[in-house]
Amino acid sequence: MRAPGTDDTVTVEAYPSDRLMVRAYAECARYPSGTPMGAYGDPELSSQQAPLQLRR
């Protein structure tokens, strides 16, 4: 999916065993103050995990 008039996109891919990969891109983003940032200005976010009921 692409937002009209922008390069902002969201891509969803389905894989076997009911797995999904979701990617999002936007030219700019805002993070809450205090978010740790890496050397290249990228946020250092904790790893994300699906709820236990969705994991196999």
d(C-alpha 51, C-alpha 7), whole Å: 31
What tens digit of pLDDT does each residue of 19-45 get?
A: 889 999 988 878 889 999 999 988 898
Mean pLDDT score of the chain = 86
Percentage above 90 pLDDT, the chain: 32
Confidence grade of residue 56 (pLDDT, cut at 50, 70, 90): low
DSSP assignment of 3-22: -TTS--EEEEEEETTTEEEE
